[in-house]
Structure 1
Amino acid sequence: MRPTPRPELFPAHTPAAPQIFTIVLSHGPLTRAEIARRACLSPAAVTKAVRPLIEAGYLVEDVDEESRTALGRPANPLRVDGGRALFIGLKVTGDEIIAVLSDLCCRIRVARHVPLGDREPKAVLAEMTGLVHELLTEAEGFGVQVRGVGVAVSGDVDRAAGMVRYSPFLEWREIPLAELVAMTTGLPVTVDNDVRALTVAEQWFGAGVGLSDFALVTVGAGIGCGLVVGGRVVSGAHGVAGEIGHLSLDPAGPQCHCGNRGCVEAIAADSAIVRDVRTATGTPVADAAEALELAHRGDPGAREVYARAGEAIGRAIGSVVNLLGPERVIISGEGLAAYDLFAEQIRDAFAASAFGTAGRCDVRTRPLPFEEWARGAAATAIQSFIRSDTHKE
């Protein structure tokens, strides 16, 4: 196996450089004056920060021919050169690994899906390593080095420590995943909760661009929530934040895998819906797809299960809005396939639980393919590269 070249460091020669680069990444092209306004910095501070970024090729100045001949200093816009660096994103589910090779603007260049037959950490690590080296080979065709790897895993993930504290779908506890992947790939590695990773991508490139406060709620195998408050993704003091799936709505309700009863996830996650549809209809549905098909055929018991799930999700969203007052809540995840069955209940429960003007929050849906979760993982790698806070080899 050939050695991986040591990645170069991001040229952040001033404390403002990561902030400025992120602003251009999300909103560019922008002139220096526009960057200064958005960053609340002086023009001199912006000029000092962007000069080494331009010299290193991370920012490109688009020369306006008209402004070239105008009096005074030209206001040429700056943009990120997406082809300057590549990143790998890995989303690990209980059934498969989705891998993407993205550029610096988080545009997917290559995508791969590998089924996961064995969830033991050693077996998963081997599959991840194989995918990384496969994508490193793909990167050679672009003539650009891969600067980092991002890994997204569901559950309690401590990004600062690079640890998967607990992942219920993988049945992992206390796995130092960042260290293990860095050892086998030779690249800087960032490991984060999958919903938080997706939230980073939505903040930079999706429905959260330009918003200082929003929430991303995901429905499907689990019920997750990513939070952006004051322009920053909230991780919590111990790496746990936004776990609305474990809000207990009914202390006498069904038991959740976390050990509590009546959690949103125990009512509205795919496995809970399958369980309740079996009970309500007497039909041995095998998975969420069969439960959904039964409900779409009009079975009243199945439809009632989805209605209860929608009510639980709506109440959970109401709790988020009451606590944080976000401008927007984005609902996504594979569970949106059933949205027509519980959209009304989500809206009604949200309206009933939102306090006062919190009910004005813009609640919208955004279907995303699974590659977007891996893209979110790549976004965390880009974020760590810009901030130089990744786990090095």
Structure 2
Amino acid sequence: MSSTRRAETFPANTPAASQIFTTVLSHGPLTRLEVARRAGLSPAAVTKAVRPLIEAGYLVEDADEPARPTLGRPANPVRVDGGRALFIGVKVTGDEIIGVLTDLCCRIRLARHAPLPDREPKQVLASVAELTGELLAEAADLGVPVLGLGIAVSGDVDRGAGVVRYSPFLEWRDVPLAELAAATTGLPVTVDNDVRALTVAEQWFGAGVGLSDFAVVTVGAGIGCGLVVHGRVVAGAQGVAGEIGHVTVDPAGPPCHCGNRGCVEAIAGDAAILRRIREATGVEVADTAAAVELARQGDTGAREAYARAGEAIGRGIATVANLLGPERVVISGEGLAAYDLFAEQIRDAFTAAAFGSAAQCDVQTRPLPFEEWARGAAATAIQSFIRADQQR
């Protein structure tokens, strides 16, 4: 990942120290003994790692929490001081960018939206820089340093290199976004796939806290999937792990922009649903809101399109459950606005296709606005900051 020189570095340069800090970040306040148990480390290792983090102000003894009795003297819990640093997260969609300013605990302090009239990389970069500048000005008023910028983009993103390899919605190929954004904003920049970024936030702060294996499936313009296996977000050797949108569920189905036929996304993505409704009804539905309204009015063609989408999504989720056996699958994305139209089909298809105990996977919905996706981008920036010394 290309970036500018950091004004400040995280005072912990070992995997154990980063793990300890992340444990407190997700589960705190915790006593040192509780941290040791959760992290699987010795109390001595925890004490050694906590000391410089307290001295640098990243961890604080929690005066609001009562000391907890132990075999020796009462133990004071420690927690992350969220106000110690700020981070910026940006989510880029096909027609707008959403920026958030978060604290170190990834709590959103401010959110801003800006239209994106041009998808050319140069214009998108200028819009991101302008929005980032606004958030930096707000941070300056707070007197707290901004230590990183995360950018979330759909498609094939190589986080390590900071390069967007291919984004179909933006029509980008091989854009070195991290390097360009770092040079423009002056901040260390992390670029990641938008669904993986959302998954990082869910792992640390949302529906995945405390789970070692879970998945986030997003429905809407595209069908995405973020995977956590043995406590780590999986990107795969080429950075495209979790692409269930391009799992074939109907070999005779409609063509997909990836070149195959019958992919989940080619059946259940917003554009695919609109196209099928137009073909079935002859009605020129303008957008997804119009399609949802038509289906809720009882139009047979529209309802069938959503039913088929639900079946494809359910089979895609079952594929994830059969391969990885996650404890939970969280369904999110803007497509949940139509969830009532295909919830039954998702459930039935999942149950039918899930093998054995994989059917016991907890499948739940979690509607999240795009501000939360931008928050996911900020979470990747926080993650990069915490692990910086291990990534060099």
Q: Give TM-score, length-normalised by structure 1.
A: 0.96
Distance 1:176 1:333, change over 3 A: same
CA distance, structure 2, for counterparts of residue 253 and residue 371 of structure 1: 34
Match of 2:383 in 1: 383
Further displaced range: 68-77 or 288-297:
68-77
Pairs within 5 Å for 1:190-269: 190-269=190-269
1:16 Cα deviation after fit: 1.1
Deviation per residue, 1:190-222 (Å, 9 max, x gap): 000000000000001111000000000000000
Match of 2:91 in 1: 91
Q: Secondary structure at the match of 1:241?
A: coil
Deviation per residue, 1:10-43 (Å, 9 max, x gap): 0004431110000000000000000000111111
**Gaps (5+ residues) in structure 1?**
none
1:74 Cα deviation after fit: 3.0
Alignment RMSD (CA, Å)? 1.8
Q: Is the 8 A contact 1:89 1:100 kept in 2?
A: yes
**Counterpart of 2:58 in structure 1: which amino acid?**
Y
Pairs within 5 Å for 1:335-346: 335-346=335-346
1:262 Cα deviation after fit: 0.7
Distance 1:40 1:6, change over 3 A: closer
Distance 1:276 1:390, change over 3 A: farther
Q: Is the 8 A contact 2:224 2:242 kept in 1?
A: yes
Q: Secondary structure at the match of 1:190?
A: strand
CA distance, structure 2, for counterparts of residue 351 and residue 159 of structure 1: 34
CA distance, structure 2, for counterparts of residue 95 and residue 261 of structure 1: 27
Q: Is the counterpart of residue 174 in structure 1 residue 192 in structure 2?
A: no
Match of 2:50 in 1: 50
Q: Is the counterpart of residue 322 in structure 1 residue 328 in structure 2?
A: no
Q: Is the 8 A contact 1:188 1:391 kept in 2?
A: no
Aligned residues: 389
CA distance, structure 1, for counterparts of residue 375 and residue 69 of structure 2: 42
Q: Is the 8 A contact 1:321 1:358 kept in 2?
A: yes
Match of 2:135 in 1: 135
Match of 1:273 in 2: 273
Match of 1:30 in 2: 30
Further displaced range: 248-257 or 155-164:
248-257
CA distance, structure 1, for counterparts of residue 211 and residue 69 of structure 2: 37
Pairs within 5 Å for 1:63-102: 63=63, 67=67, 72-102=72-102
Pairs within 5 Å for 1:98-113: 98-113=98-113
CA distance, structure 2, for counterparts of residue 201 and residue 65 of structure 1: 25
1:289 Cα deviation after fit: 1.1
Q: Is the 8 A contact 2:327 2:362 kept in 1?
A: yes
CA distance, structure 2, for counterparts of residue 240 and residue 319 of structure 1: 16
CA distance, structure 2, for counterparts of residue 246 and residue 18 of structure 1: 34
Q: Give TM-score, length-normalised by structure 2.
A: 0.96
CA distance, structure 2, for counterparts of residue 164 and residue 326 of structure 1: 28
1:53 Cα deviation after fit: 0.2
**Gaps (5+ residues) in structure 2?**
none
1:7 Cα deviation after fit: 2.3
Distance 1:64 1:147, change over 3 A: closer
**Counterpart of 2:233 in structure 1: which amino acid?**
V
Match of 2:151 in 1: 151
Further displaced range: 47-56 or 12-21:
12-21
Match of 2:296 in 1: 296
Distance 1:268 1:92, change over 3 A: same
Q: Is the 8 A contact 2:219 2:333 kept in 1?
A: yes
CA distance, structure 2, for counterparts of residue 375 and residue 281 of structure 1: 39
**Counterpart of 1:348 in structure 2: which amino acid?**
D
Q: Is the 8 A contact 1:216 1:329 kept in 2?
A: yes
Q: Secondary structure at the match of 1:49?
A: helix
